[in-house]
Homo-oligomer: A and B are copies of this chain.
Amino acid sequence: MTRPRDMRNVPLSGARLWADLMAVAKIGGTAKGGCNRQTLTDEDGRVRHWLADQARALGCTVTVDRLGNMAIRREGRDAARKPVAFGSHLDTQPTGGKFDGILGVLAGLELLRALHEAGAETEAPLLLVNWTNEEGARFSPPMMGSGGAMGLFAEAEILAKQDSAGAVFGAELARIGWQGEGDPRGLQDIAAYLELHIEQGPLLEREGASIGVVTHALAQRWYDVTVTGEEAHGGSLMAGRRDALVAASLLIAEIERVALASGGNGRATVGRLTVAPDSRNIVPARVWFSVDTRHDDAAGIATIETGLRAAAASLAAARGIAIEVTEFWDSPLTPFDAALVRHVEDAAKARGLAYRRMPTGIGHDAVYVARKAPAAMIFVPCHGGVSHNEAESITPEWAEAGLLVLADAVLAAANA
């Protein structure tokens, strides 16, 4: 077998990758051209069989762990070396698209196929991973398979999770026939992990770049905010009112200001809000809302929190109301592995592809993997930044660009 240090000799096919994307999109395909292939449904079972069949035809072995994570192994020249892993997820949102997650798995499959056709051999073994339940739409939280494998969630807790209809994760995994025997934590024992994914934002398309070299994951802190004022009739005088919604509105405006002033691409989103008692002519007594904050550095995320808490305290005092801010979820800033990021950047350069270095503001399996092993990500554009949507779309050229950079970076890591 040849040892392909220069992958430009290996017959990677963007057309074959595109055909795979279209084939897989039919499993759980929707009338509007999207996908409904939620985790641990029959459709998830079917797409897993499709992937395993393809992989076995290429001489790979397929193992499954107790959380359903699929690991497709292609042996390398040096059996003593830890495998170089890559992949993403095949599950989708209920009204998801054809590319989010799927691109990363199928580009990995195309790499295995091209190596097989070329009779090429890498130094390190390769491991294509399909993580279970990245989306978190049916069973919360998201990134459950990778989080469990990296030891961030207890296996027993994951298996006991229930969906909104009361179905149990472990039982559903067994029902579709994809509960294996492997210890999920075995996936920590890798030399590297590379994940190709659509950007899910508009930046690359806007700048005309086809590759995002992802350097790190933003720090994230999510909050619950509860504002408690006093109910009053809509006919009562304004003086003396303690209107929870006006206070919440002023706080929401202030949160935007604080995030913009925090520097380094600070981000804050209030995505959910409820009002009680929710009557046209009753001054709201209680408002609850969520806050999602993200930042390029750890000091920035703390700056936003300080600003949020200060604005809440000041409004509460000025308006005689109570504002409670509690942390809901926290994810530290996660740098990707410098050597792997360099491999990605080198590949983009060598292939002559326009690229930019950028963080990911969104959680991915690679972000969890990065806590235990060297990891990095590659982004390709998606039209209008639209994802988690049946209208999600990319061009075959973007898919091919991602495939080439993923393949080059994987081979660079596996042959280093």
Q: Which residues of A contact B (CB under 8 A)?
A: 200-203, 218, 222, 232-238, 240, 243, 245-246, 248-250, 252-253, 256, 259-260, 265-273, 275, 278-284, 290, 292, 294, 328, 360-362, 385, 387-388
| 17 chain-A/chain-B pairs, Cβ below 8 angstroms | A202-B236, A202-B240, A222-B280, A222-B281, A233-B387, A237-B267, A238-B259, A238-B267, A245-B270, A245-B273, A246-B252, A246-B253, A253-B253, A269-B281, A271-B284, A272-B275, A282-B388
A265 partner residues in chain B, CB cutoff 8 A: 237-238
Residue from A245, A248, A280, A282 with most neighbouring chain B CB atoms (10 Å): A280
Q: Determine how close the nearest CB of chain B comes to the CB of A95; give it in whole angstroms.
A: 10
A232 partner residues in chain B, CB cutoff 8 A: 201, 385
User: How many angstroms from the CA of A385 to the CA of B282 in the assembled complex?
Assistant: 13
When the two chains form the complex, which single residue of B273, B282, B385 contacts A233, counting CB atoms closer than 8 Å?
B385
When the two chains form the complex, which single residue of B234, B267, B387 contacts A269, counting CB atoms closer than 8 Å?
B234
Contact (Cβ within 8 A) B280 A292: yes
A268, closest chain B residue (CB): B238
Contact (Cβ within 8 A) A271 B275: yes
A236 partner residues in chain B, CB cutoff 8 A: 200-202, 267, 361, 385
User: How many angstroms from the CA of A234 to the CA of B388 in the assembled complex?
Assistant: 12
A259, closest chain B residue (CB): B238
A218, closest chain B residue (CB): B235
User: How many angstroms from the CA of A48 to the CA of B47 in the assembled complex?
Assistant: 67
Among all A-B residue pairs, the 9 with the closest Cβ atoms: A235-B361, A249-B249, A235-B362, A234-B269, A249-B252, A234-B292, A280-B290, A201-B236, A271-B280
When the two chains form the complex, which single residue of B238, B243, B250, B256 contacts A266, counting CB atoms closer than 8 Å?
B238
When the two chains form the complex, which single residue of B237, B240, B246 contacts A256, counting CB atoms closer than 8 Å?
B246
Query: Known contacts A271-B283, A290-B280, A292-B280; is A252 also within 8 Å of B260 by CB?
Result: no
Q: Determine how close the nearest CB of chain B comes to the CB of A250; give it in whole angstroms.
A: 5
Contact (Cβ within 8 A) B200 A233: yes
A269 partner residues in chain B, CB cutoff 8 A: 234, 243, 280-283
A282, closest chain B residue (CB): B271
A250 partner residues in chain B, CB cutoff 8 A: 249, 253
Contact (Cβ within 8 A) B272 A234: no
A235 partner residues in chain B, CB cutoff 8 A: 200-201, 218, 267, 294, 360-362
User: How many angstroms from the CA of A259 to the CA of B237 in the assembled complex?
Assistant: 11
User: How many angstroms from the CA of A74 to the CA of B223 in the assembled complex?
Assistant: 65
User: How many angstroms from the CA of A387 to the CA of B233 in the assembled complex?
Assistant: 8
Q: Determine how close the nearest CB of chain B comes to the CB of A389; give it in whole angstroms.
A: 8
A246 partner residues in chain B, CB cutoff 8 A: 252-253, 256, 270
| Contacts A269-B282, A269-B283 known; 16 new A-B pairs at CB < 8 A | A200-B233, A200-B235, A203-B237, A222-B281, A233-B362, A234-B292, A234-B361, A238-B259, A249-B250, A250-B253, A253-B253, A270-B284, A271-B282, A272-B278, A273-B275, A281-B292
Q: Determine how close the nearest CB of chain B comes to the CB of A352; give it in whole angstroms.
A: 27
User: How many angstroms from the CA of A250 to the CA of B270 in the assembled complex?
Assistant: 13
A284 partner residues in chain B, CB cutoff 8 A: 270-271
User: How many angstroms from the CA of A269 to the CA of B282 in the assembled complex?
Assistant: 7
A270, closest chain B residue (CB): B245
A260 partner residues in chain B, CB cutoff 8 A: 238
A273, closest chain B residue (CB): B275
